[in-house]
Amino acid sequence: MGDGISDYTKNMVDLRRHMWMAGVEVELRRLIWQIAVVGKYISAKIHEANRKLAGFKNIYGEDQLSLDRSSDEILKNQLQFSGFVREYASEEQEKIISIGTGSEKYIVTADPLDGSSLVETNLAIGTIIGIHKESVLDTGKKTMVAALYMTYGPLITMVYSAGCGAHEFVLNREGEYVLAQENILLKAKGSIFSPGGLRREWLPDHLKFIEALEKDGYKLRYSGGFVPDINQVLIKKGGLFTYPALQKSPQGKLRLLFELQPMAFIMEQAGGRATDGRTDILSLKVESLDQCSPVYIGSAAEVEMAKQYLK
């Protein structure tokens, strides 16, 4: 008779095997695996920061920014000599960086540590990655071939899509990403909503939309972190996240290239939708690295309802 844990682990489908079974091309699956491994390093960096918080050193203020920069450096350095990435664009960098020889196949975009301000409150944070085959700026066409995000919370999880569904993996005690849910599908209509931005800054049409959700009995679920809130909508299989246009920020707060495009890619692969209120997120032309956009993302019914209110 086996020891239980080992037998259980043997029956698990790990990330590499899943990508192989799904027919993801060799270079792309190697790149996704490499990024997943980087998530382990970033998680270790977060835990190191938490130990300092527990009595050794205050990590906040400039030190918190150091955590963002450290995560960016870890990711960039690991990809630099991967053999698969020719350009790297990050929320922590002012411009797109050439990191390969120029002949590599992929361009990687990253929000290396989304929600780092939540570390102090011990809430979940994450990493968001987009993988493209062509230039990410000014193309006017869809260039993304894969996307993933990692959530650092009570569990370290990863959701990826290479264009054939959205799949969730959990990092186990043996250090393997094992399949938790395959081909996640959202219900057409959910029951939770996560609205960002101050209510007093909302525009009238958006306010009416939120009031309609409240009247319909939707439950408020908002942590202040994009990754954990999107993850909740996805894993609960329905609902809506929104960060709208605001009176002082007509383009919202979230960045199109680093945050919205990868999440829209994953959400659409799970049967959901993502829009700025009028146009699908993945159809928006990226004109600058710091370009922001309002977003309504989640189940099809809620996104369509938002578009009706915002006409």
Q: What confidence tier does 250 reach under pLDDT thresholds 50, 70, 90? A: very high
186 domain residue, yes or no: no
Mean pLDDT over 266-270 rounds to 98
Give residues with Cβ within 8 angstroms of 48, minimum separation 6.
Answer: none
Residues 34 and 154 in one domain: yes
Mean pLDDT over 2-27 rounds to 75
Looking at the predicted structure, is the pLDDT value of residue 275 above 50? yes
The DSSP secondary structure of 2-69, one letter per residue, reads --SHHHHHHTSPBHHHHHHHTT--HHHHHHHHHHHHHHHHHHHHHHHHHHIIIII----THHHHHHHH
Looking at the predicted structure, is the pLDDT value of residue 50 above 90? no
pLDDT in tens, 149-207: 999 999 999 999 999 999 999 999 999 999 999 999 999 999 999 999 999 999 999 99
What range does the domain containing 196 cover? 192-309
**CATH number for 142:** 3.30.540.10
Lowest pLDDT segment from 2-11, 58-67, 262-271: 2-11
Q: What confidence tier does 3 reach under pLDDT thresholds 50, 70, 90? A: very low
Show the CA angle centred on residue 309, arms to residues 305 and 311, nearest 5°. 115
Residues 116 and 138 in one domain: yes
The neighbour count for residue 125, using CB atoms within 10 Å, is 25
Mean pLDDT over 73-80 rounds to 93
Q: From 141, 159, 181, give the residue that closes a domain.
A: 181
Rounded to an integer, what distance in angstroms lies between the CA atom of residue 264 and that of residue 175?
28
Tell which residue, 310, 269, 261, has the closest CA to residue 289.
261
Residues 141 and 31 in one domain: yes
Residues 255 and 129 in one domain: no
Q: What is the CA radius of gyration of the chain?
A: 19
Cα 195 to chain centroid distance, Å, stands at 17
Residues 225 and 264 in one domain: yes
204 domain residue, yes or no: yes
Distances (CA, A) of 11 to 5, 6, 183, 210: 10, 9, 19, 45
Residues 220 and 291 in one domain: yes
Rounded to an integer, what distance in angstroms lies between the CA atom of residue 29 and that of residue 52?
35
Residues 60 and 134 in one domain: yes
The DSSP secondary structure of 104-138, one letter per residue, reads -SEEEEEEEEETGGGGGGT--EEEEEEEESS-SSS
Q: Which pairing describes strands 177-181 and 219-220: parallel, antiparallel, or unpaired? A: unpaired
Looking at the predicted structure, is the pLDDT value of residue 64 above 80? no
Looking at the predicted structure, is the pLDDT value of residue 65 above 70? no
Contact 87, 235 (CB under 8 A): no
Give residues with Cβ within 8 angstroms of 57, minimum separation 6.
Answer: 63
Report pTM.
0.92
Residues 28 and 119 in one domain: yes
Tokens of 90: 């990050």
pLDDT of residue 139: 67
Residues 133 and 251 in one domain: no
140 domain residue, yes or no: yes
Rounded to an integer, what distance in angstroms lies between the CA atom of residue 221 and that of residue 233?
9
283 domain residue, yes or no: yes
Q: From 181, 214, 237, give the residue that closes a domain.
A: 181
Residues 128 and 240 in one domain: no
96 domain residue, yes or no: yes
pLDDT of residue 122: 78
Rounded to an integer, what distance in angstroms lies between the CA atom of residue 104 and that of residue 125?
30
Helix (H, G, I), strand (E, B) or coil at 236: coil
187 domain residue, yes or no: no
Mean pLDDT over 88-104 rounds to 93
Residues 105 and 159 in one domain: yes
Lowest pLDDT segment from 86-95, 115-124, 295-304: 115-124
pLDDT in tens, 32-47: 999 999 999 999 888 7
pLDDT of residue 81: 85
The secondary structure element, H or E, covering residue 300 is helix 300-309
Rounded to an integer, what distance in angstroms lies between the CA atom of residue 301 and that of residue 22?
29
The neighbour count for residue 134, using CB atoms within 10 Å, is 13
Residues 108 and 150 in one domain: yes
pLDDT > 70: what percent of the chain?
90
Higher pLDDT, 187 or 51: 187
Order of strands across the sheet that contains 273-275: 219-220, 192-195, 240-243, 295-298, 273-275
**CATH number for 265:** 3.40.190.80
Q: From 130, 162, 181, give the residue that closes a domain.
A: 181
pLDDT of residue 61: 41
Tokens of 271: 């049967």
Number of independent structural domains in the chain: 2
37 domain residue, yes or no: yes
DSSP state of 292: B
